[in-house]
Amino acid sequence: MELKKLRNQVDTLDSKILQLLNQRAKLVKQIGKIKSLHKKQYYAPEREREILSQIIKNNQGPLSSEAVKEIFSEILHTCRSLEKKLKIAYLGPEATFTHQAAIKNFGKSAEYISAKSISDVFAEVEKERADYGVVPIENSTEGVENHTLDMFIESDLKICAETLLEISHYLLSREENLQKIKCIYSHPQALAQCRNWLEDHLPNAELIETASTAGAAQKVKKESTAAAIASDLAAELYGLKIVASRIEDRSDNFTRFLVISKNFPAPSGMDKTSILFSIKDRIGALHDMLVPFKKNNINLTKIESRPTKKKAWEYIFFVDFAGHIVESKVKKALNELEEQCLYLKILGSYPRAE
């Protein structure tokens, strides 16, 4: 009798939750109409960050903060699709880690467009065949994705959000016997992230680079003695066996992904700004470029350099720092920086991923 009573209480609460969710959905549809009338962006990462932060702050358990975030993220994604079903371009095919990062950020209700390369993701957004694009920018083990950095030099698209995805690699094959595997396909980053495991377990296997991990899984479907390093989702999607699990060399293996669009969002209060700049080749030049950030008490979180490809030994620097371009101290630092550098480009200000 006690169990039945408790279940009846759960059923009553479920009905109330459903009613409240539909009330929320109706309000979101009204918001969507206002956004359409005023030509505002349907995706507002700063607002979603604000909602999730407040909900987690108010959470008193027993649900964990991570569980609450996951539940409410899906509510946000589903309700956003009532305003507009967004089209999202990603580095494909299906089941790549970029595809999984896109779903994490936009939910299952969005429409996903597979692109063959990072430059194709940029092109889809630039030509307005997609509302947003998702591209990898760096891995905690292997570092930066140079192709993405190079695209920001050429493109006028902005960074409007970022997301982090924990990366776990699986060895996939039609063959169950590890010793019969003669070659391994995967993206160069995935091969590098599993270098030690491969040397220990398959030292004689030929390593073949592919454009994506999911593309590697597609190739292995047709070869009996080949394997792919990819996700467990790729195994399920392409009908392959998991020969070995979690073969990455480091357990704390994360990849950071960027969301690109033609606009960047308003401040969320917990933001990051990305810029690129070039400097004259002289003694102490880079030091002088970084002084404005120290002077204005701005924390730099990343700095990378890339050749300009226009002149030998000429470089462009990519910098991430805490803050949003509307903040007075950020404006001051960028004005001081611009006075000293040859070229300055603001790539975006956006909510920091947690």
Catalytic residue set = 255, 257
Q: Coil, strand or helix: which one is 72?
A: helix
The residues near 344 (Cβ < 8 Å, ≥ 6 apart) are 275, 276, 277, 334, 337, 338
In the chain, count of helices (H) and strands (E)?
12, 15
Residue in the block written with tokens 């940029």: 122
Q: 212, 93 in Cβ contact below 8 A?
A: yes
Reduce the DSSP state of residue 134 to 3 states and report it: strand
Tokens 């805490």, residue located: 322
Give the Cα separation of 194 and 178 in Å (integer): 15
End-to-end CA distance of the chain: 45
**Phi and psi at residue 268, to the nearest 5°:** -110, -15
Question: Token pair for residue 69?
Answer: 């975030």
- In three-state secondary structure terms, 36 is helix
Query: How far from the centroid of its chain's Cα atoms is residue 5's Cα?
Result: 45
Q: How far apart are CA 90 and CA 99, in angstroms?
A: 6
Element housing 253 (H / E): none
The tokens for 87 are: 């089209």
| Among 42, 123, 137, CA closest to 89 | 123
**Opening angle at CA 264, ends 260 and 270, nearest 5:** 105
